[in-house]
Amino acid sequence: MKKTLIGLFAIIVVIGAAAATWGIISFKGNAVKERAELFISKRSDYTQLLDSVRPRIKHHFAFDIYAERLNLEQSFKAGHYILEDGMSVIDIVRMFKLGLQTPVNVTMNNVKTPAYLAGKLAKQIDADSVELVTVLTDEKLAKELGFKNSLTMFSIFIPNTYEFYWTVSPEDFVERMYNEYKNFWAKNSRDEKRKRSGLSRVEVSTLASIVYEETRKVDEMPRIAGVYINRLKQGIPLQADPTIKYAMQDFGLRRILYRHLKYESPYNTYINRGLPPSPICMPSIDAIDAVLNFEKHDYIFFCARPTFDGYHNFARTLKEHSANARAYQSELNKRKIK
């Protein structure tokens, strides 16, 4: 009898040890099959969370037990999460419970309008384009930030890559970008350099947007900026072709014809003197700095080279410019560009 009791006790000890081991492995051991990136939207329900998590983890039973214990169904947080090798069921459930999400990189560049920007951002954060464009065109918000309207508020977006939480709201996104904008102007003596041109921050961004649309050649940007500064100071219309494309909202237009120059719009710099009302795109940092460091010269005109190498020929007189323009137009005709 004594031997039987000892045997039963041994069995119980073995079973207990096995259960304890199972518990440790299930709850505290590595539950991740392989590193995975999860996006849990603010519009997701608990079933969608489980559908995202289950295929990527082991120990489902332990996950369900611990998730129920922490009432995860009613308390999980949306966000961008990384399942790392070595994470336990406890780590994973707590991550969703506490919203311990990993930031995402949001890249902005080469954008022409708030609507384009909204579409680009909607692919990078958990907000749809309608929500975003509503905030980006909010006139009240623009005035609160010190801008004349939402079109000039567009100048706060400095092209770069920024870290955000994926669930950032459109309002918080704009507030963060406004702070980035203020920091941008405080760096590298930009506000001090701005006095050289006599332009405001918005005006610098507006001119930079034209320069950016005229050329991608960084080494030529200060010279082109100098041409426009000369025209502004002398009261000569800018006559910038990119403003015609923006006015017509036809960004695929390859050749500006005479009829296009008559298009009625405050953005048409052929029929209106001075700068357009707001930026015509999101200018690069190089373009902004080119305006701040514009080249001093006496050029009034420039025209794309007929070699189509991306550079321009510059001229001081209309006669010189007309010759350059004829050479370029002739090459356009040869290449049948309409």
Question: What's the mean pLDDT when you consider all of the chain?
Answer: 90
Q: Which two three-digit tokens encode residue 169?
A: 């709201």
- As a whole number of angstroms, the distance between CA 310 and CA 207 comes to 19
Nearest to 190 by CA among 276, 199, 281: 199
Predicted pLDDT of residue 322: 92
162-176 average pLDDT score: 97
pLDDT digits over 29-77, tens only?
688 989 999 999 999 999 999 999 999 998 899 999 999 999 999 999 9
CA dihedral sign of residues 198, 199, 204, 207: negative
Predicted pLDDT of residue 335: 81
pLDDT digits over 227-260, tens only?
999 999 999 999 999 999 999 999 888 888 889 9
Predicted pLDDT of residue 45: 96
Q: Which two three-digit tokens encode residue 318?
A: 């209309």
Which percentage of the chain shows pLDDT scores above 70?
A: 91
Burial of 183 (0-12, 13-18, 19+ CB in 10 A): exposed
Band of residue 14 on the pLDDT scale cut at 50, 70, 90: very low
Predicted pLDDT of residue 27: 61
Band of residue 21 on the pLDDT scale cut at 50, 70, 90: very low
Res 1 pLDDT > 80: no
Predicted pLDDT of residue 20: 42
| Cα 80 off chain centre by | 18
- Strand ranges in the chain using DSSP code E only, listed in sequence order: 36-40, 79-83, 104-108, 160-164, 301-304, 312-315
Number of other CB atoms surrounding residue 141 within 10 Å: 19
- The three-state DSSP-derived secondary structure of 61-122 is HHHHHHHHHCCHHHHCCCEEEEECCCCCHHHHHHHHHHCCCCCEEEEECCCCCHHHHHHHHH
Predicted pLDDT of residue 13: 41
Give me the residues paired with residue 37 across strands. 82
197-203 average pLDDT score: 95
Cβ contacts of residue 305 below 8 Å, gap of 6+? 311, 312, 313, 328
Domains defined along the chain, listed by start: 29-102 (3.30.1490.480), 104-186 (no CATH), 189-334 (no CATH)
- As a whole number of angstroms, the distance between CA 23 and CA 90 comes to 12
Res 295 pLDDT > 90: yes
